[in-house]
Chains A and B, each alone.
Chain A
């Protein structure tokens, strides 16, 4: 092939490989861009098929400006993740229109390699990584095709590319483990890279929500050193809400931070539970822990209302270990805390306030008031639903006396309101409740649909006590998780199902989640800390990254040198493999009494065999010719070895 010629088959392969690279982007790019890219690709394909000329310069300039403008008007910028990736794909598609020489294909292939990296800006799942391996193979096969004198089949190119990719795996692992990890990203991720992360917020307005989103997205996974706590104890504490205007609940004034933890400020009544959590990024500060956390992970602090806060928003998966005491007694309230725990809007909800004052008068103590409130939730026709009616003016009164339909937020908010109205210090705690046990990986999975809100009241002698009014209405909510397939009126709870099909499906999905968890823990969570601990384990002490980089460079050079030496000796290696095969052939003949004398050359031996056994003459001649060529000829073709292997295997004297 002359250096300026481009085979039509190469163009087709390039188009296929590039569409593989860009395919995952289709879901998050504007539709028109995908269509433009496909049309440009088809155009180039037709040009290659029909040997028509490529579009002229003017048309290309016009097309480029139009696409550039379109991307700019869509995003208002050409930078950032979305706009950048869109621009890259658009330009790559346009580049196809001036694809004339192999050099242009090189450019397109290298852009393709770059595009592979951009896929990881969106997802770092094991599946995508595996897929990208295949894509790297496809692109590499194209480079191999470009460098061949004689075109080979796609399969042959892919095989060579596959071998290259497999050979690169040890280097990849070494680089992954040893490449200096700088704390924080080396270059800033695009600003919009953390968009679309869902999770709890630091305020709650139950009356304004008519449909609670039920997402299966995983919030965190927790593995325990001992047995799992009972479902009734699985309250994962998140933001604590103090401040209310009757309808909306907020965290209120900044809570005092205690960091580092200097001894516990509450009395423990049981042994602590030890567990570790792998938290998915949610771009917020809080870390979840069971009531009540007794230790603080590094780069986190404990607030006075027992929330764990990270020092910066959680934007990467985070593994932390915590201990919690399920039974506890908190100290007396400070005046300031008592004031905040009794805060109510100056007016509104007269019926609820009236009922609360009546309870106050009729009850001997705070515990009795709590009992009466729970009794009311239990006895009146309250319904737990994910699609509550909207409240119009007065959330508390309407919910308690009229609609009586709601989810955890409704119950927690109205309960705390009643308590405060009755003079019992109370607050709303949001977080997650429950979690699904993954028996394969032996950990708990907590999903967005496990989001929950409950109440805490301060009782004399006991301190802060958790009260879950939802449990009074729908105890199943606390014991089992919500089945998200139930979108109807009545909420179905997750019931254990005996059907074997469902069971095996469950096992399969648990297995998949376990794999993902391992991937997260061992691949994605491998940051500077883990690297430092690995290195100090390997070497006795942690190294600064400059030393590490030098070592790495030296290692890469050593590796390259080894590879070059191996390459130089490939003739000898093939020759040795040929010798093994040839001895096998000789052994086969020796069993028939036609052994090779040690000094006999292959050709001489084949001649003797042909004389003794004319039926073997042809096969022997072929084998000896192949062996002789592999062992003594220059540049033995790899296919000779394969042919020899085949011939020897099928040689039956």
Chain B
């Protein structure tokens, strides 16, 4: 479906976002991924998923071992999208006020003024989020959910777009507070980066310093295009047949003996939004089942736990239980 061709639109009433076709948006997304791909080698799918997560106005959790490039990925994404970026290193003694900001008594004015914390930025990298105490974690997660911060009764709106990329080390490492399931649900997607393949690793080892390149990376997309793409996501058409498929998936997750609990309605909505964003990146005006299958492991992986008798199954095997559900 192409948008109706409007001959000579009056320039004053149409901004560039109104005339962006799905093809234009696809092109913009491709540019972002290509630019980011120069720094983060061999992780195109993960970059694409991360972008979809951002376009769907969700937040991203990256879970992996230290040193596989979690931080780099977050930084690259912020840079190529031309967004303001701040990094927050979580530690066990980090307090909520360290993230959100605090009201400080100003002697000159004889009043309290709010000093915004590092969370007031467009892209927040919450590094090693599972090292902080649950109290601090929930301060972050509430800000993610509400897109606003309330300190001492005053509410402060966070900037748009607001995108949190949290990283966490696998919880069996020493000195971590695993995020509870209810908190995990706040993240739209969870990605595993994994080790790079041999070719990418070789390029990494032999190439020039990536940090240098990262610093000079120009934005590949304008803010208006990005916001327009975000607003286009919910408009991507979802046919009755696709809703049928989604419902079949949800039902299967709830009835299958492999899972301890099924997917929540919020997870269903997450699947839908992520699939819409995925279709948008592919330049399509409608969602097809393949979109759902491709985003499914990232969206559902952290929300599902294996049932006790299947506890030793790896996540990929669990996800296969869902991606092999017949398409009605």
Q: What's the least CB distance linking B279 to chain A, in Å?
A: 9
Q: What's the least CB distance linking A148 to chain B, in Å?
A: 14
Q: What's the least CB distance linking A72 to chain B, in Å?
A: 52
Contacts of A631 in B (CB 8 A): 239, 241-242
Verify if B326 is at the interface (C-beta below 8 Å from A).
yes
Verify if A434 is at the interface (C-beta below 8 Å from B).
no
Q: Tell me the nearest residue of chain B to A607, going by C-beta.
A: B290
Q: Does A575 lie within 8 Å of B239, measured CB to CB? A: yes
Contacts of A604 in B (CB 8 A): 290, 293
Verify if A258 is at the interface (C-beta below 8 Å from B).
no
A-B CB pair tally, cutoff 8 Å: 55
Given contacts A598-B327, A600-B327, A603-B290, contact A632 B1 (CB under 8 A): no
Q: What 0/1 readout, one digit per residue, does chain B (214-255) give for beta carbons within 8 Å of chain A?
A: 000000000000000000000001011110000000000000
User: For the complex, what is the distance from the CA of A148 to the CA of B159, rounded to whole Å?
Assistant: 46
Contacts of B289 in A (CB 8 A): 601-602, 632
Q: What's the least CB distance linking A479 to chain B, in Å?
A: 75
Q: Does A634 lie within 8 Å of B240, measured CB to CB? A: no
Q: What 0/1 readout, one digit per residue, does chain A (621-633) give for beta carbons within 8 Å of chain B?
A: 0000000110111
Verify if B325 is at the interface (C-beta below 8 Å from A).
yes
Which of A575, A599, A600 has its CB near the most chain B CB atoms (within 10 A)? A599
Q: What's the least CB distance linking B247 to chain A, in Å?
A: 14
Contacts of A351 in B (CB 8 A): none
Q: Does B241 lie within 8 Å of A575, measured CB to CB? A: yes
Q: What's the least CB distance linking A638 to chain B, in Å?
A: 15
Contacts of A635 in B (CB 8 A): 1
User: For the complex, what is the distance from the CA of A571 to the CA of B240, rounded to whole Å?
Assistant: 8
User: For the complex, what is the distance from the CA of A572 to the CA of B1, rounded to whole Å?
Assistant: 18
Q: Does A599 lie within 8 Å of B324, measured CB to CB? A: yes
Q: Does B288 lie within 8 Å of A598, measured CB to CB? A: no
Q: What's the least CB distance linking A634 to chain B, in Å?
A: 4
Q: Tell me the nearest residue of chain A to B289, going by C-beta.
A: A601
Q: What's the least CB distance linking A605 to chain B, in Å?
A: 10
Q: What's the least CB distance linking A577 to chain B, in Å?
A: 12
Q: Does A633 lie within 8 Å of B327, measured CB to CB? A: no
Q: What 0/1 readout, one digit per residue, does chain A (580-620) give for beta carbons within 8 Å of chain B?
A: 00000000000000000111111110000000000000000
Q: What's the least CB distance linking A600 to chain B, in Å?
A: 7
Contacts of A575 in B (CB 8 A): 239-241
Q: Does A633 lie within 8 Å of B325, measured CB to CB? A: no
Q: Does A571 lie within 8 Å of B239, measured CB to CB? A: yes
Verify if B285 is at the interface (C-beta below 8 Å from A).
yes
Q: What's the least CB distance linking A626 to chain B, in Å?
A: 13
Given contacts A572-B240, A575-B239, A601-B293, contact A632 B287 (CB under 8 A): yes
Q: Does A633 lie within 8 Å of B290, measured CB to CB? A: no
Contacts of A634 in B (CB 8 A): 1, 237, 239, 285-286
Q: Tell me the nearest residue of chain A to B292, going by C-beta.
A: A601
Verify if B323 is at the interface (C-beta below 8 Å from A).
yes
Q: What 0/1 readout, one digit per residue, does chain B (299-328) give for beta carbons within 8 Å of chain A?
A: 000000000000000000000000111110
User: For the complex, what is the distance from the CA of A575 to the CA of B286, rounded to whole Å?
Assistant: 14
Contacts of B241 in A (CB 8 A): 572, 575, 579, 631-632
Q: Does B286 lie within 8 Å of A633, measured CB to CB? A: yes
Contacts of B242 in A (CB 8 A): 631-632
User: For the complex, what is the distance from the CA of A628 to the CA of B325, rounded to whole Å?
Assistant: 18
Contacts of A598 in B (CB 8 A): 324, 326-327
User: For the complex, what is the distance from the CA of A600 to the CA of B325, rounded to whole Å?
Assistant: 9
Contacts of B286 in A (CB 8 A): 629, 632-634
Q: What 0/1 readout, one digit per residue, does chain A (516-559) give for beta carbons within 8 Å of chain B?
A: 00000000000000000000000000000000000000000000
Q: Tell me the nearest residue of chain B to A631, going by C-beta.
A: B241
User: For the complex, what is the distance from the CA of A633 to the CA of B327, rounded to whole Å?
Assistant: 16
User: For the complex, what is the distance from the CA of A597 to the CA of B323, rounded to whole Å?
Assistant: 11
Q: Does A632 lie within 8 Å of B324, measured CB to CB? A: no
Q: What's the least CB distance linking B242 to chain A, in Å?
A: 5
User: For the complex, what is the distance from the CA of A631 to the CA of B1, rounded to whole Å?
Assistant: 14
Contacts of B287 in A (CB 8 A): 632
Q: Does A601 lie within 8 Å of B285, measured CB to CB? A: no
Interface residues in A631-646 by Cβ distance below 8 A to B read: 631-635
Q: Tell me the nearest residue of chain B to A629, going by C-beta.
A: B286
Which of A602, A633, A635 has its CB near the most chain B CB atoms (within 10 A)? A633
Q: What's the least CB distance linking B233 to chain A, in Å?
A: 15
Contacts of B288 in A (CB 8 A): 601-603, 628, 632
Q: Does B240 lie within 8 Å of A599, measured CB to CB? A: no
Q: What's the least CB distance linking B45 to chain A, in Å?
A: 15
Residue from B1, B239, B325 within 8 A of A599 (CB atoms): B325
Q: Tell me the nearest residue of chain A to B242, going by C-beta.
A: A632
Contacts of B239 in A (CB 8 A): 571, 575, 631-634
Q: Does B240 lie within 8 Å of A601, measured CB to CB? A: no
Interface residues in B253-289 by Cβ distance below 8 A to A read: 285-289
Contacts of B240 in A (CB 8 A): 571-572, 575
Contacts of A603 in B (CB 8 A): 288, 290
Q: Does B237 lie within 8 Å of A601, measured CB to CB? A: no
Q: Tell me the nearest residue of chain B to A633, going by C-beta.
A: B286
Q: What's the least CB distance linking A130 to chain B, in Å?
A: 40
Q: Does B327 lie within 8 Å of A601, measured CB to CB? A: yes
Given contacts A571-B239, A575-B239, A604-B290, contact A633 B285 (CB under 8 A): yes
Q: What's the least CB distance linking B35 to chain A, in Å?
A: 27
User: For the complex, what is the distance from the CA of A465 to the CA of B289, rounded to whole Å?
Assistant: 93
Residue from A599, A602, A629, A632 within 8 A of B323 (CB atoms): A599
Contacts of B326 in A (CB 8 A): 598-599
Contacts of B327 in A (CB 8 A): 598-601
Q: Does B237 lie within 8 Å of A633, measured CB to CB? A: yes
Contacts of A597 in B (CB 8 A): 324
Q: What's the least CB distance linking B296 to chain A, in Å?
A: 11
User: For the complex, what is the distance from the CA of A587 to the CA of B324, rounded to whole Å?
Assistant: 19
Q: What 0/1 readout, one digit per residue, does chain B (25-58) give for beta carbons within 8 Å of chain A?
A: 0000000000000000000000000000000000
Q: What's the least CB distance linking A223 to chain B, in Å?
A: 57
User: For the complex, what is the distance from the CA of A599 to the CA of B239, rounded to whole Å?
Assistant: 18
Q: What's the least CB distance linking B318 to chain A, in Å?
A: 15
User: For the complex, what is the distance from the CA of A601 to the CA of B324, rounded to whole Å?
Assistant: 10
Contacts of A599 in B (CB 8 A): 293, 323-327
User: For the complex, what is the distance from the CA of A94 to the CA of B130, rounded to whole Å?
Assistant: 86
Q: What 0/1 readout, one digit per residue, does chain A (560-583) give for beta carbons within 8 Å of chain B?
A: 000000000001100100010000
Given contacts A571-B239, A601-B293, A628-B288, contact A633 B324 (CB under 8 A): no
Q: What's the least CB distance linking B27 to chain A, in Å?
A: 20
Q: Tell me the nearest residue of chain A to B237, going by C-beta.
A: A634
Beyond the given A601-B293, A629-B286, A632-B289, could you list 9 further A-B residue pairs with CB under 8 A, ordered by the A residue number?
A: A571-B239, A575-B240, A599-B293, A599-B326, A599-B327, A601-B288, A602-B290, A633-B239, A635-B1
A-B contact pairs, 5 of them (CB 8 A): A575-B240, A599-B327, A601-B289, A633-B239, A634-B237
Q: Which B residues are within 8 Å of any A CB, using their own CB?
A: 1, 237, 239-242, 285-290, 293, 323-327
8 residue pairs, one from A and one from B, having the closest CB atoms: A598-B326, A601-B290, A634-B237, A601-B289, A633-B286, A599-B324, A632-B239, A631-B241
